Structure 1
């Protein structure tokens, strides 16, 4: 009989048993650290966490023991807003988002491995990642974090995920595109786009509700999609048991997306107190992405953004710092993007 290893020859033997001995465990549930803890692992699963005692080691002969004296052990980190498609290797943002799909796919395993090495075991991709990359990680083809993907981010023509410049008059191939986004206009196209993303393995739906830093033909204060278009996309997502989150910067865009049913706001840099209260009332979460703007404003990445995008970047960074304080004070549920030092899977700023 053909074995699983014959069908999937890349599969490795079972992870085996490990004891992480004498670690300081970060207990995030209770907000404390616990000294001298022993963590037992069987076949990739934690089976126990207890006070370190010599008897634990003697009771498990042959187990791989790792001395963690002086080391901290914490749960895996979660990065809540990345774009795997924008891989390293380019010195301009337009090249990172505009690189051929085959180039991006071949570099994404490197990025995924680097995420793991930095402690990120779960990643939420907000536009561009395929089900194929998610399934390859789940199948053990290469190491990477657990992925939750939006598939293509949905954009109106001239919106934040329409990367055609103003001199490009080519059609958007019926709305189906490679890369970060899919363009859709009108209720029928918007409904079809959501259904296609769900069919293709998306865990949630991401829409572009306003302009952004990196897109070539819109402004940050542009309102994108009509209320009826957003409602239609929200209903299609709801029918499939999932939700819509929206890229939105300005108060008008944030309010527009919330009132039409979106359950998440990505960025939200111009959030005010009134809208913060509305988000709490409607149980809408916020994903700030300030580290991206901070990095883009640094001398290290000077020239990475074109001049028109650099000025927008400065504007949203300053506003975002204020918005973070407002959101914290209001008690909004917040997700987090990556800290400094992780691979540059760029935010769709």
Structure 2
């Protein structure tokens, strides 16, 4: 927009009755032009933010109270993530993003902002110990072919949905989640805390080798496949290559390392019964991770693969549904974690159109019930995870998957697997853990990640399938991301 002016012309050029050229008029016009430009800018910003809001990416203003003002949750029933019971004799004091204290009911500081929980249960924020932040919200074909920017935008949208299901932390076990984690930690995107592993490390022909047969053979000068260059998987054969790929993930900020130690269901060319990686190759990854103060977890189902992984020093078995009694005893003796999923042949099973993958899926499903029984019988430390993969529709079943654990154990024991127990598993990352305090518990000094639940978690967990109805408050790091409670200031 240019400034207006009615300049005299023609025969009356010497006479100018218009005041457009006057200094006060031009100043007014400049103010109008600046205001219009500002409105156009703000309108454009609003449009951009509105667009990103559709993906769950718009930054939100999250308030827990005035700066420096403590927050006190009162009138509640507490499940602290560790004790398998509820208590009603305490309040929860939150300050600077952490649990400051658990004062006796009615004895909290008077200067704190109070939120009356109305007698509802308060539990720690949920932890999914086996999640794929960048792979859950797209199909397998999309993950292997789509523009990487699209994958990250879809991951951002799904991160917001994950948080609103009550999962305030995830252990990401495969995919390029480093950028998403950074955006969430900086408050640019709504989502859970992420413990990333980066690319899944796989041998040639292993569970993380998604190449097609026509792409073989791989020669020294062959460029990496799209799955490798995008950070989903890293193919490594031999001790030297395993060391290199492990160190690359650590350089990018991996909090733990994931290797593929056996066949899988989703991959097309590796039978489920195969053992993958020699013991010395696994041990190379374990040593490299240990040098950085962290650990290795392994995708594996069979007794042979699990035992080999344990001997190599792996600290967490992912899946393991085909483990026999001898193998489970070995896990218990070595204090190896079991990150296990309720892989059942039901409506939530990852859809499989390939008959070979479908047969493998049924085999894993058949071993699931025995795996839970043996794990509990021998006291193997167990944490909950979903491993929902390449299924935009299945992502919404995250809470329902946790509720399924009540088929194998009491509700609070199941809830413990997704809170206090999962927090212990995350702590294996040591100095590579990206967050500064305990997670999965409501205890003094822990990060203030918690949920106010309009249900009785001791009676059942079906309410997890309807988080919009039953999670009346979601808090992450002391910041409230949902509040449906009546607040008493």
**TM-score using structure 1 length:** 0.84
Match for residue 95 of structure 2 among 20, 32, 42: 42
What does 1:144-159 correspond to in 2, within 5 Å?
144-159=191-206
Deviation digits for residues 243-286 of structure 1 (CA, Å, limit 9, x no counterpart): 11111111111111111221111101111111112112222111
Structure 1 residue matching 2:382: 3-state secondary structure: coil
Q: CA deviation at 1:126?
A: 0.8
- Cα gap change, 1:97/1:299 in structure 2, threshold over 3 Å: closer, same or farther? farther
**What 5-or-longer segments of structure 1 have no aligned partner?**
1-9
Do the aligned partners of 1:15 and 1:42 also contact (CA within 8 Å) in 2? no
Do the aligned partners of 1:149 and 1:204 also contact (CA within 8 Å) in 2? yes
Structure 2 residue matching 1:124: 3-state secondary structure: strand
Q: CA deviation at 1:186?
A: 1.4
Q: CA deviation at 1:11?
A: 9.0
Quick one: distance in 2 between partners of 1:217 and 1:66?
55
- Does structure 1 residue 204 correspond to structure 2 residue 253? no
Do the aligned partners of 1:83 and 1:129 also contact (CA within 8 Å) in 2? no
| Paired position in structure 2 for 1:318 | 366
Higher relative contact order (CA 8 A, sep 6+): 2
Deviation digits for residues 65-122 of structure 1 (CA, Å, limit 9, x no counterpart): 43211321111111100111213254xx444566543222112222222222222222
Deviation digits for residues 204-239 of structure 1 (CA, Å, limit 9, x no counterpart): 110000110000111101111112211212111111
Q: Which runs of 4+ in 1 moved over 6 A?
A: none
Do the aligned partners of 2:138 and 2:154 also contact (CA within 8 Å) in 1? no
| Paired position in structure 2 for 1:113 | 160
Decide which moves more: 213-222 or 334-343: 334-343
Quick one: distance in 2 between partners of 1:339 and 1:25?
29
Do the aligned partners of 1:160 and 1:215 also contact (CA within 8 Å) in 2? yes
Quick one: distance in 1 between partners of 2:240 and 2:350?
42
Quick one: distance in 1 between partners of 2:386 and 2:262?
22
Quick one: distance in 1 between partners of 2:357 and 2:332?
31
Note the aligned Cα RMSD (angstroms): 2.9
Structure 1 residue matching 2:263: 3-state secondary structure: coil
- Cα gap change, 1:256/1:302 in structure 2, threshold over 3 Å: closer, same or farther? closer
Decide which moves more: 166-175 or 199-208: 166-175
Match for residue 328 of structure 1 among 376, 385, 400: 376
| Paired position in structure 2 for 1:4 | none
| Paired position in structure 2 for 1:137 | 184
Deviation digits for residues 145-196 of structure 1 (CA, Å, limit 9, x no counterpart): 2211111010011110111123333747358432421111112111111111
Equivalent residue pairs, number: 328
- Cα gap change, 1:149/1:344 in structure 2, threshold over 3 Å: closer, same or farther? farther
Deviation digits for residues 294-338 of structure 1 (CA, Å, limit 9, x no counterpart): 3xx334668554222111111101112212211111111111114
